[in-house]
Each structure stands twice: as structure tokens, then as C-alpha cells.
Structure 1
Amino acid sequence: MPRIATPDTVTVTQEQVTRALGEVLPGVADTRIERWAPTHADLTWANVMGPEFSIIDWEDRGMAPRGLDAAALWGHALAVPALADRVHQERHADLESRDGKLMSLFFPSKIVGPHAHEADPLLAPARKEAAHLVAEL
């Protein structure tokens, strides 16, 4: 049996995705994940190294919904619109898939949810992107 990813130390499951989106973004009716793929599951800018490109911190790796890594990297860049646009451009195939759109909502659901902090620079852009994605789905 393949290892399941554990972003934020929580095993990602269909039920977790459905619950997280339903609690914060009730406008998303169909949260069914169609494709699971190998994932880093903690792809943040702190885990991307240079000048020789490398990715560190693989303990959460495993199978997860397609687009989880791309959505996390994109979501962590929302406060810098040009960077978020670049990530979206580079990872377009993942982020524009239906599962990628769900993962693009899954990331901001953690920011705009009940523990939102008004001073978080990601909050306003996450709210904006979440509203846009809910309308698309």
C-alpha cells in the first residue's frame, strides 16, 4: 500500500478535504478527488533551496490529490502577486485541473478559516482567490 501524504502532520484523505472545504467554503458542492499523485506535501518556499536547486524536508511525502504541492507553493506566494502568477504559469496543468482547483481552495481554507489572522498578508489575497475559485467550480 502506498504511503499517504501528511501535510501539517495530518494524513490527507478525501474526507479531510471534504470537511475542510465544507467548513470554510460551503459553496463547493462536489469535493470528490479524481487523481492522486506522489507529493512532497510540505512544499513551501522554506523547503526550496538554491542557488543549486533542491527541495528538502520530505518527511510528509506520499500520495495526495493532484495539485497539492503546486497549490501550496502558489498559496504561499499570494502576498507577492507576480510570484503567485509565475507559480500558476509554471504549474498551470496541475492548478487548472479540477483536482488542482480543489487543492487551490484547500490551501486558503486553512488561512481564511476560523483561525484567520487579520494581520496575515495572505488573508486578503486568499479570500479573493477562494471566491474566484468557488465561482469557477
Structure 2
Amino acid sequence: MNLHDNNLRPAFLVAALFTLVGAQVGCQKMAFWRSKPQEMHASSEVLAGQGTVRVSNGDNGNSKVSIRVKHLAPPSKVAPGSTVYVVWFRPVDGDSQNVGALVLDSDLEGSLDTLTPHRRFRVSVTPEPNGQVTSPSNEPVFTYNVESNK
């Protein structure tokens, strides 16, 4: 194939144009699927604490969820007898599910990354006596409603 052939030049230009447009749309689509961290709603018990949740497209159609907290008081100071913060997901049509413990480091910061098949669910963080509890026993310190149509 000779690109200097006048008969092939229009076809080559059209193909190049479609490639560029497709790449642009693909980049925009990727940016659309990535979300910015969203600030979780703090309870009145949390004076200085901050929490964010980021939800993005994960593997196999799952939602990838990243939770970050900082300046959060030790759990025992928020609810007596608590040793850990637990992250809960409550789908629109279901019960709260313990998705993991959110352990604070020495700087009172913590994180949890996980996957869920749900697209619409409520995220909450509660102080609990241990990480294996099966239902929340204290009021949440953070909440956020995820409404994803992906």
C-alpha cells in the first residue's frame, strides 16, 4: 500500500480520523468511570475526624470502594468497649454487611479498600468491640450513600 496514491489518501484520512475520535471517546469514558473521593457525612460525635469514600469501576462489574479516614478518635473514646471501627455496606434491598475493620495507625488515620457487587448502597463506619461483629452495635461516625448507575 502506497500512502502517496491519491486513491488511498481519503480512506487513510478517514481511518485516522476515526482512530483519533475513538481514542478521545475512550479517554473520556475512562475519566468518567473514575470518581473523585467524596466526603462522608460525619456524625456529631466526630469533631475533628474526616472521611472520604471513592467508588470506581472494578473487575467483573464490581464496584471498587476505597475508604480513607483521618483525625478520628480511638474507637473506645467514641463508644466505651469499642476497639476497632467497622465498615458496613447496606444495599438498597438488604441488611448491613460487615466488609472489614478500619484500624487506625498512630496518626489516627486508617483505610480500607474492597470490592462489592452492589451499585447502590449505604456506607457507614461504626465503632465496635471487635472486627467480627455481624451487625452494627453503635451509631455510625461516618455515612455516605452511593448511587452509581454504571
Superposition TM-score tier, normalisation by shorter sequence: under 0.3
Q: TM-score, normalised by structure 2?
A: 0.22
- Structure ranking higher on relative contact order (CA contacts 8 Å, 6+ apart): 1
The structure with the largest helix share of the pair is 1
The structure with the largest strand share of the pair is 2
Higher radius of gyration, 1 or 2? 2
